[in-house]
Amino acid sequence: MHTLENLTIIWIGVLLAHFMARATRLTPVLFYLFMGAVYVNTGILPTEPGEFIRVFAEIGIILIMFALGFEESTDNFIAGVKRSWGIAFFGGISPFLTAYLLALYFWEDTNMALVVGLAMAATAVSLTLMSLKSEGLNKTRAATGIMTSALLDDIASLAMVAVIIPIASGQASVGLLSVGLIMLKAVGFFIVVAILAVWVLPSESKGPLYFVPGLGRFGINHIFSFTRGQRTLVILIFVMLVAISSHALGLHPAVGAYMAGLILREEYFKKAPTAIVGVEEDDDAPEDFKTIKRLIDNVAFVWIGPVFFVALGAKIIFDWDLLVSVVPYVAALTITLIIVQIISAGVAARYTGGFNFEESVMIGLGMLGRAELAFVVMDIAYVQNDILTDAAFYTLMVTAFFMNISVPLGIRFWKPYFVKSGGS
């Protein structure tokens, strides 16, 4: 019963967060994090959420990322990748070097500094896109630039995890072969997704499968015709399979979920061009694109997805004496990283991506979040390998917390200027 009680408490927090967000006209994400921190530090929730809540939260972030990808145009995303390489490079290397140098100055430990830099290098894209969605900006060019840049950052950060963690923990040195294998897996995943998008899902495909008897003109809309009322279930199965494949190749499952949503097009939900023999056509199409999208949005953004952010906020456990001692470190790291991240990503967006000034600033603000990968790195370095000291761990936790808070606040603050400039 404790797991059900905890889930009920979290849902109450989610509801309260919605009320607070409505009263303050801020994004609910900020208050999800706040409620999680309040719950765990007042003893309402345990410091260890339990396997059920962890899995539930993981499903939440997968659904959020799928829902966000489901809204995005594949063509816009591909165009965004071409424009975002500079944002990913400069927006990732700048905070890494900044955090590394500050940590080296604070604690005079190279291994610890490497881990601190790594934890602060990757962007929490789900937090940013949730914040953009709450402001009605999730379909803009800036949002696509943030998403594509963050995905490229995550791939690079995963390679850095493979290199830096073994070095920092004193394990055997890592060679080029190991790093190359990681990159090969990541590239392989995106190739598989591209094959799905071009040759497997669409019935109008002209690729190699077109000439295979029985498969050449068979696409996902035929499966929808066959399953009729189970379209949503078919989609969720597809999403989970892609997410599992992503995880198996070393990427976060949420990355796979986003890509799964990205390659599902609205036209796939129309009636198949040729009927399946023996299967009655579903002319009414009760589960059309808009209905399914509305259902997925409700699940992702209202009652399952928010659990992830409450659980994320619950990772901030206050030890007041230790917190007071790290205040100077947190202040220096947070302020410097915010300035460096906005400038590096914003300038790169302006001069390598061709975004206008207002879009560039929005991209810089959107790249401030630190969540999924940052906390994975902290767990590996602090819990599993004892690389970080207590002071360094708390500094990273609180810095990540404040940087996460800065995302919805910054986006909210900059929105009038962004909209006035015609940001699209």
* CATH number assigned to the domain comprising residue 175: 1.20.1530.20
- Which has the higher per-residue pLDDT, 77 or 16? 16
The alpha carbons of the chain give a radius of gyration, in whole angstroms, of: 22
pLDDT of 273 higher than 60: no
What mean pLDDT is predicted for residues 266-286? Answer: 53
pLDDT, position 339:
95
C-beta of residue 337 within 8 angstroms of C-beta of residue 345: no
Q: What is the mean pLDDT of the chain?
A: 80
Return the structure tokens found at 159.
Answer: 């390679």
Q: Which domain holds residue 28?
A: 2-420
Percent of all residues in the chain with a pLDDT value above 90, rounded to a whole number: 17
pLDDT of residue 276: 45
At residue 274, the pLDDT reads 47
- How far is residue 173's CA from residue 248's CA, in Å, rounded to a whole number? 23
Question: 381: pLDDT confidence band, cut at 50, 70 and 90?
Answer: confident
Examine the pLDDT at 338 and tell me if it is beyond 70.
Answer: yes
pTM exceeding 0.75: no
Identify which has the larger pLDDT, 388 or 199: 388
pLDDT of residue 76: 64
Half-sphere exposure of 178 (CA within 13 A, CB side): 12
Residue 278 pLDDT: 47
Give the residue carrying structure tokens 């145009």. Answer: 73
Residue closest to 262 by CA, chosen among 218, 197, 207, 198? 197
Number of domains in the chain: 1
pLDDT surpasses 90 at 100:
yes
**Is the model more confident about 180 or about 279?**
180
- Calculate mean pLDDT across residues 199-207: 65
pLDDT at 279: 46
Lowest mean pLDDT segment, chosen from 105-109, 319-323, 396-400: 319-323
> pLDDT tens across 45-69, in order?
988 888 889 889 888 888 888 887 7
Q: Which residue has the higher pLDDT, 271 or 341?
A: 341
